[in-house]
Structure 1
């Protein structure tokens, strides 16, 4: 009789899609499966505690985590990424949502895929993160990391916004639009794509800036090298806008603020199959090249 190969005991965090019975049940089943293999399981913050897990609250607990398992859609995955905040913890996503571009593993393959991951048979791919800082009176008041994108948009405000754009302190352009998307290659398949921006291969060393419904036909997406620092200011004394990070965090900014965006020194680590193919994923999820 063949025996199952034992893997060292590790600590694993779980993020699941709340209010979705399928994801909740999967979280319970994955927990039981991991505990049977002597792994310690944690529930990530701001979720109902999964039975037989511990809450992941302290810095000491975070230091023990070797893997994050996401059970949900891309929104759930981005929520997990926001918790990690640049820590070198790989993330594996199982799709229990509608699109599942980030959570690209099938929900019905959870256990064999986890088995291969814990045996070291998967690959870890680094993805760049954006570091976005908000300044007021030349003082940094907030800083965020983004895996997908930073969006500056008018939101519920009725007027278009004028945004002055600078690269390494050199003036680039002033855009009058509903907003701007600054996206990583990972985020190029999300809001950026819907707004008419280009697809960028995940390993590319680039950042794309795409206007949202610009008021001029001359406003087009621009691709920058990843090492370029960009800054943005709202023009107009009473101008206000929303600043949104990966669709997870939203704050209001005004013409008194300056937004500075650059590539972070940290990376996001994603688990991928050795047979993973980006173009297959485009065809499967986005119907890329579909002529039907």
Structure 2
């Protein structure tokens, strides 16, 4: 039996992440690990163009060289975007991720660069908790042929290009009849994605352990159109409007492919998941307070000067 395997996935556009990757590589080698480094670019889905409307990489082809079921963990150095890309790179082999924030928001990360070495010491001592997050499996069918597929940790978004402009979408959930939604676009989000685009579009916050998906219209043109939360055991099919030449399907902020009339976008909970390493018991409400200001008390303060 050989040495244990570990991965490092980093954002090579951030000098701090590049420096930390070098330090971390040395530390893991000293600890007896075989280390496999890659960048988050490997998890980017690609951007379509009018002359190349389908930029297709199968789900299992996003896995980097050396990453397999024998890898004990991978450490992500970057912001939330790098974590989202890394999730697609490791999900097929169920590799746990420890995310260290070198970005802005850091909603998915577990620590900061100034905590890197104690965090790795805790990781190597195996004193951690695994938190499982559900993912979406999104497939596009054209004339009943699969033309595109990808995983999403946050959300899938179908919208017009440019974004502004109302469309009529048909949406069918499970065995239920299809409904018409008039909006600029449609968001299908996981609980993890409930604090991302879905939140900005007026959707509710969903705690990560609840097994649901959300359907959130973007700028709906109806007072009756509201977000819908439904069990993630149900699959969903999106039918694009027939009066627009093409729409864009985006996953986790990555554009995926153009959608044309007659296509079907099929969304379901994936058999794959994202496993996040937590160095202490996760406290979701504390995270909401820290990152989004949720639940902070509003206390009226007396005026410091007297009014005439």
TM-score, length basis structure 1: 0.88
In the TM superposition, what whole-angstrom CA distance separates every residue of 1:130-183 from its partner, at most 9, and x where no partner exists?
111111112222221111111111132663222101012422421121211111
Distance 1:147 1:36, change over 3 A: same
| Structure 1 position 233 matched with structure 2 position 239 | yes
More displaced stretch, 32-41 vs 216-225: 32-41
| Structure 1 position 37 matched with structure 2 position 43 | no
* CA displacement at 1:63 relative to structure 2: 3.9
* CA displacement at 1:290 relative to structure 2: 2.5
CA contact (8 A) 1:282 1:288 kept: yes
* Alignment partners' CA distance in 2, 1:13 and 1:24: 14
CA contact (8 A) 1:182 1:209 kept: yes
Mind listing any 5+ residue stretches in structure 2 that lack a counterpart? 43-62, 299-308
CA contact (8 A) 2:122 2:279 kept: no
* CA displacement at 1:104 relative to structure 2: 3.0
Q: How does 1:60-139 map to 2 (within 5 A)?
A: 61-139=67-145
Counterpart residue number, 2:53:
none
Counterpart residue number, 1:180:
186
4+ aligned runs moved over 4 Å, structure 1: 45-48
* CA displacement at 1:243 relative to structure 2: 0.5
More displaced stretch, 201-210 vs 173-182: 173-182
Aligned partner (choices 150, 159, 169) of residue 153 of structure 1: 159
Counterpart residue number, 2:223:
217
* Alignment partners' CA distance in 1, 2:88 and 2:167: 27
* Alignment partners' CA distance in 2, 1:237 and 1:176: 13
In the TM superposition, what whole-angstrom CA distance separates every residue of 1:50-100 from its partner, at most 9, and x where no partner exists?
xxxxxx844x65343221111110001011012124321001101111100
* Alignment partners' CA distance in 2, 1:249 and 1:82: 14
CA contact (8 A) 1:9 1:37 kept: no
Secondary structure at 2:169 match in 1: strand
Give the superposed CA RMSD: 2.0
Distance 1:191 1:10, change over 3 A: same
CA contact (8 A) 2:154 2:190 kept: yes
Distance 1:57 1:145, change over 3 A: closer
In the TM superposition, what whole-angstrom CA distance separates every residue of 1:222-280 from its partner, at most 9, and x where no partner exists?
00101011111012244421101112342111112101111112221111133321111
CA contact (8 A) 1:153 1:180 kept: yes
* Alignment partners' CA distance in 1, 2:108 and 2:187: 19
In the TM superposition, what whole-angstrom CA distance separates every residue of 1:103-129 from its partner, at most 9, and x where no partner exists?
132221111112212221101111111
* CA displacement at 1:209 relative to structure 2: 0.9
Aligned partner (choices 16, 40, 44) of residue 10 of structure 2: 16
| Structure 1 position 142 matched with structure 2 position 148 | yes
| Structure 1 position 253 matched with structure 2 position 259 | yes
| Structure 1 position 265 matched with structure 2 position 271 | yes
CA contact (8 A) 2:248 2:255 kept: no
